[in-house]
Structure 1
Amino acid sequence: MPSLRSRALSVALSAAGRRRRFASADAVGARVARSARRPASHLPPRSLGRVADVSRTFVGAWPVYEVAPLGAEPAAQVLYLHGGGYVDELVRPHWALVRTLVTRARARVVVPAYILAPRGTADRTVPVATDLLSGLIASGGAGGTVLLGDAAGAGLALAAAQRLRDRTGEQPSRIVLISPWLDVTMSHPDQAAIEASDPVQARPGLREAGRLYAGTLATDDPRVSPLHGTFAGLAPLTVFAGTRDVLATDSRELLRRARAEGAEVDLHEEAGMPHGYPLLPVPEGRAARERIVELVRSAAEL
């Protein structure tokens, strides 16, 4: 049963109208238009600099942040791809997760602020993410590299892992996906029932955000929707999902399809939890973050 704190937070999210962000195609279009007029900041909070060494470089047009432990050699490295429906920038919960990985797992975390849709489309974004992953593996060895993404960032992470496998056969030591958005068509028949209790996500706006990210590609192209790709030869996958997340169907389908192809998948589906619960300040979220820290530490020992 969900904790009292998580139930209260779900009520608060509903009351705050979080679903309005993706309630319709028009709502997403308005968000994109506002962002074009006044782009949101992707800068890390200043407080992160008190506990970590933070630097920034550029890969093409992408600002790429590197966050590392202060005064210590990193024990592992993480490429973290943030969520936001491909239309929203990094926000404080993303940076809070980065802070946890740096301070608790002693990881060096590479965080790209990738170009958002509609300027950033899958045909451009996936190759750059793949190159970042390949470079990180080459710099530190596959045994100490974890690929981590949440929501849309998890879809980008899986697409990059598939592309890297096809290109060179390389893989990180593990892939960790938080509430992954793996099929932007939003066509699974179980989603309608889940959507009724989802306090955060709604299908109409997600479909529109997915269409913008697809650009000239079909929305079921594996670069856009990696659930339609193949899974043999991928690194072991650890997936976190909540049953009150309309995207939970993507995690369940990933488990079924990937295992059928012989891939190693570990799904943690938490009853009553909303989208992105491992990033939330609730007991279930803290437990999930502890598990992620353990996975990163384990990568350092390989």
Structure 2
Amino acid sequence: MPSLRSKALSAALAATGRRRRFASAEAVRTRVAQSARRPASHLPPRSLGRVADISRTFVGAWPVYDVCPRGGEPDARVLYFHGGGFVDELERRHWAMVRALVVRARARVVVPAYALAPRGTADRTVPVAADLLSGLIESGGAGGTVLLGDSSGAGLALAGAQRLRDRTGTQPSRIVLVCPWLDVTMSHPDQAAIEAADPLSARPGLLEAGRLYAGTLPAEDPRVSPLRGTFAGLAPMTVFTGTRDVLATDGRELLRRARAAGVEAELHEGTGLPHGYPLLPVPEGRAARDRIVELVRSAANA
């Protein structure tokens, strides 16, 4: 059962209208148009600079933040792709995850502020994601590399890992996917029932966001919907999802398909928990972040 704090936060998020951001195709188009007129900031909070060294470079048009622990070499490396339906920028909750990894796991965390849809489409974005992953793996130093993504960022992360496997066979030490969105067709038959209890996400808006991200590619293309790609040869995976998340079906299907392909995979499914709960300030979120920190620490010893 979810904690009282989790129930209260889910109710508060629903009451404040957060679901309306993806309630309809029109809502998504309106949000994209507003962002084009007044782009949101992707800058890290100032408080992060008090505990980490932060630098920024550019990969093409992408600002890429490199966040490192102070006082010595990092023990592991993390490439983190943030969520937001492919149309929203990095937010404080994403940077809070970065802070936890830097401070508690002593990880170097590379955070791309990737181009958002409709300017950033899968055919352009996935190859750059693969390039960044390859570069981080090859950068050397102690420990291994963990590929982390949440929501739409998890889809980009998985597509990038598949692309890199097809290029060179190279993989990170582990792939961690938080409430992943892996199939933008939103066609799983169980999603209608889950959507009724989801306080944050709705299929009509997600379908539109997925269409914008797909660009000229079919929604079924594995670059857009990596759940429809192949899994043999991928790194071990850890997946988090909640039963009140319309995207829970993607995590479940990923577990089934990865294991069928011989890939080590584990699924943590939180009963009664909403989309993105590992990033929320609730007991279940803290427990999930503890597990992610543990996984990164394990990579440091790989």
TM-score by length of 1: 0.99
Distance in 1, Cα, partners of 2:257 & 2:88: 29
Distance in 2, Cα, partners of 1:276 & 1:141: 31
Q: For 1:51-200, list aligned pairs within 5 A.
A: 51-140=51-140, 144-200=144-200
1:155–1:182 CA contact under 8 A, matched in 2: yes
Of the structure 1 ranges 258-267 and 241-250, higher mean CA displacement relative to structure 2 is found in 258-267
2:81–2:112 CA contact under 8 A, matched in 1: yes
CA drift at 1:60: 0.5
Q: Tell me which residue corresponds to 1:291.
A: 291
Equivalent AA in structure 1 for residue 173 of structure 2: S
Q: Secondary structure at the match of 2:104?
A: helix
Q: Tell me which residue corresponds to 2:241.
A: 241
Equivalent AA in structure 2 for residue 185 of structure 1: T
Q: Tell me which residue corresponds to 1:27.
A: 27
Q: Tell me which residue corresponds to 1:37.
A: 37
Deviations 1:66-104 (A, max 9, x none): 000012210000000000000000000000000000000
Distance in 2, Cα, partners of 1:56 & 1:104: 22
Distance in 2, Cα, partners of 1:141 & 1:51: 21
Distance in 1, Cα, partners of 2:189 & 2:83: 24
CA drift at 1:214: 0.2
Of the structure 1 ranges 172-181 and 66-75, higher mean CA displacement relative to structure 2 is found in 66-75
Q: Secondary structure at the match of 1:140?
A: coil
1:142–1:171 CA contact under 8 A, matched in 2: no
Give the unaligned 5+ runs of structure 2.
none
Q: Tell me which residue corresponds to 1:224.
A: 224
Moved over 4 A (4+): none
Of the structure 1 ranges 89-98 and 65-74, higher mean CA displacement relative to structure 2 is found in 65-74
Deviations 1:239-273 (A, max 9, x none): 00000000000000101111111111100001011
Q: Secondary structure at the match of 1:83?
A: coil
Equivalent AA in structure 2 for residue 4 of structure 1: L
CA drift at 1:141: 6.6
CA drift at 1:18: 1.0
Distance in 2, Cα, partners of 1:142 & 1:152: 29
CA drift at 1:142: 9.7
Equivalent AA in structure 1 for residue 194 of structure 2: I
Q: Secondary structure at the match of 2:98?
A: helix
Deviations 1:198-256 (A, max 9, x none): 00000000000000000000001000000000001000000000000000000001011
Distance in 1, Cα, partners of 2:85 & 2:206: 7
TM-score by length of 2: 0.99
Q: Closer, same or farther in 2 for the Cα pair 1:226/1:134, shift >3 Å?
A: same
